[in-house]
Amino acid sequence: MITHDEGRLRFLPRRTGMQRRRFRRGVYLLPSLFTLGNMFCGYACVVYAMRGEYEMAAPFIGFAFVLDVLDGRIARLTGAESAFGLQFDSLADVISFGIAPAILSLAWGLSSLGRLGWAAGFMFVACAAMRLARFNIQSAGGGDKRYFVGMPSPAAAAVPAATVYAYPWGLQDPRAAVPALLMVLVPALLMVSTIRFRSFKTIDLQTRRPYRVLLLIAAGIMLITWLHRYVLVVMAYSYLASAFVGLAITRFRHRGGRAPAIDASQSTPDTEHPRDTAAR
């Protein structure tokens, strides 16, 4: 005899192992789709740059940056982080933040310098690849999440992208293209340097006054929409200069400030020197 409860349970759908595996496959596929979009943006930037449409090419690096941020966040939120996703993301970043800005800069103005322009573009690609390889090793071993060691490749790619977007007419005179070498070489060298750059991933947005944060974000969006050419350039170069400002402040504190004397009777084995704490 089958009771009412047994009959009801008999008709309830059960999630089989195959359905669970399909669900997990969909979760793992979602971040990879954003990574694929990131790669497409880098490819589109190269295509438009080769056609001489610099004003169309430069924004694709910004779109790639947004997709690069989203794929990592979605992977962490859904628990879909994997070794495949890490390597796939790095390969996409080499295209979008290494090859794409190098070709964009070369077609925009560095090609007038001949082999020197070619060498500067290749330097940027090589430094971006080394930066991403080092980041994968450091992220696997842990470390201070508040800072990047070396300039992140998306921020380095934003420097030539914002410059080209602000002045999309290109440089045909080799004498005018010589200063543009700094636009490529300085971010390239900073990517493989050991200078620390601030990471905004650890900033806590949970505040007692969220309306102020929302107003600041709305004001930033309004400025970018209204004066996007100039605001993006200021943002890109300000982040580049922030590392030098922070480095100068740190050295000034170490040289000018002296730690107070510590009484040996009151010290404990766990007491840290102020300089050791500041150097982290």
Residue 192 to residues 53, 151, 180: CA-CA distances in angstroms? 30, 7, 20
Rounded to 5 degrees, what angle do the CA atoms 133, 71, 20 make? Answer: 115
Res. 44: pLDDT tops 50: yes
**Cα–Cα distance for residue pair 91/99, rounded to 1 Å:** 11
Contacts of 230 (CB under 8 A, 6+ apart): 166
Inter-residue contact 128 to 188 (CB < 8 Å): yes
Closest to 233 measured CA to CA, from 157, 159, 167: 159
User: What is the per-residue burial (b if ≥16 Cβ within 10 Å, else e) of 115-139?
Assistant: eebeebbebbbebbbbbbeebeeee
* Averaged confidence pLDDT in the chain: 80
* Whether this model's pTM surpasses 0.95: no
Taking only the tens place, the pLDDT of each residue in 110-166 is 999 999 999 999 999 999 999 999 988 877 666 667 788 899 999 999 999 999 999
Inter-residue contact 93 to 41 (CB < 8 Å): no
Domain edges within the chain: 21-254
Give residue 253's pLDDT band: very low, low, confident or very high (50, 70, 90).
Answer: confident
Q: Which CATH superfamily includes the segment(s) 21-254?
A: CDP-alcohol phosphotransferase transmembrane (TM) domain (1.20.120.1760)
